[in-house]
Amino acid sequence: MKKALKIDIISDNVCPWCFIGKRRMEKALKKLSKDCKVNITWKPFQLNSQAPVPGVNKLQKYLKSGKDRFFPIVMEAGKEVKINFSWGGNVGNTFDSHRLIAYARKQGKQDEMVEKIMSFYFEQEEDISVKKVLEKAAEEAGVKYAKKFLESKELSQNISDELLEGRMKGVTSVPCFIINDEHKISGAWEAKDWENALKKLGYL
């Protein structure tokens, strides 16, 4: 039997291509046999570690930086994987959202937590830098005792260490997927490209 498939995903929760890349990867993983075990671990990355809490107007920030020119491409890619991108709401610091994802992993709810946080930000125009928003996301994802956790500093050092680890590994953009600790996939690969990679590794 082929060994379990291990995938470490380095991403930021306000990166649209991370959300798209997640859905594309999941589409490809559905092709695996039912007896193939997949272990996914989400690792943090911050596109802007100095972003404020609470956040600032998302659309204005994108317009100011000129990134709005990518809206049509992102929205079209999103539709293909059933993501309805919306550019309203605020964008802020993602550190606490990464802490919450690490906490959710202890409850076996990491994937659910990532999905909910990204959906909150990209589709529901929520400010995921705000603890009350994260509490609501945790509740919907089935993660227990999130309010108490978020009020603490628990896992802060772990996240700081993992952010440094990512930089030490040379990760400068996200999403970045590391398969079985050695094969790196940079960017939001199409599902068919994921399938080809999995075939070469003997999983399909």
Q: What is the pLDDT of residue 3?
A: 84
For the chain, give the number of residues. Answer: 204
Quote the pTM value.
0.95
Identify whether the C-beta of residue 99 lies closer than 8 Å to the C-beta of residue 129.
Answer: no
Q: What is the pLDDT of residue 1?
A: 56
Identify whether the C-beta of residue 110 lies closer than 8 Å to the C-beta of residue 40.
Answer: yes
Q: What is the pLDDT of residue 42?
A: 98
CA distance 81 to 74: 11
Among residues 148, 186, 191, 199, which one has the least CA distance to residue 11? 186
The sign one gets for the Cα dihedral 104, 98, 119, 73 is: negative
Question: For every one of its 204 residues, what pLDDT tens digit does the chain have, with 9 covering 90 and above?
Answer: 578 999 999 999 999 999 999 999 999 999 999 999 999 999 999 999 999 999 999 999 999 999 899 999 999 999 999 999 999 999 999 999 999 999 999 999 999 999 999 999 999 999 999 999 999 999 999 999 999 999 999 999 999 999 999 999 899 999 999 999 999 999 999 999 999 999 999 999
Q: Kindly report the backbone phi and psi dihedral angles of residue 43, in degrees, each rounded to the nearest multiple of 5, phi listed first.
A: -115, 150
Under 8 Å CB-to-CB from 54, ≥6 apart: which residues?
90, 92, 127, 129, 130
Q: If DSSP codes are grouped into helix, strand and coil, which group holds residue 71?
A: helix
Q: What is the pLDDT of residue 179?
A: 96
Among residues 118, 110, 115, which one has the least CA distance to residue 94? 118
SS (H, E, C) 92-130: CCCHHHHHHHHHHHHCCCHHHHHHHHHHHHHCCCCCCCC
